[in-house]
Amino acid sequence: NATLRFRWEEVGGPPVSPPTRTGFGTRLIARSLAHSFGGTAQLSYPTTGAVLTFEAPLAAVTAG
């Protein structure tokens, strides 16, 4: 089965540190993407910039 793998990585900005709490936007991204497409979404916060990794079955993403 074909899989879509998407990675958004921020670079060139000020140093990043992990948030002390999970806000609405973070929950919206992680839960909505994963639930809507039957995949997974992960956010990480290396000092170089925030990173979002999303993976889902390609058929679920292209259906519409």
pLDDT digits 0-9 by tens, 18-30? 989 888 888 887 7
For residue 32, how many other CB atoms are within 10 A of its CB? 11
- Specify the pLDDT at position 64: 65
Check residue 54 and give its pLDDT.
92
- pLDDT at residue 27 in the model: 83
Distance CA 21, CA 31 (A): 16
pLDDT value for 29: 78
Phi, psi dihedrals of residue 54, rounded to the nearest 5°: -125, 135
Give the residue ranges of the chain where pLDDT is below 50. none
pTM for the whole thing? Answer: 0.78
pLDDT value of position 32 = 87
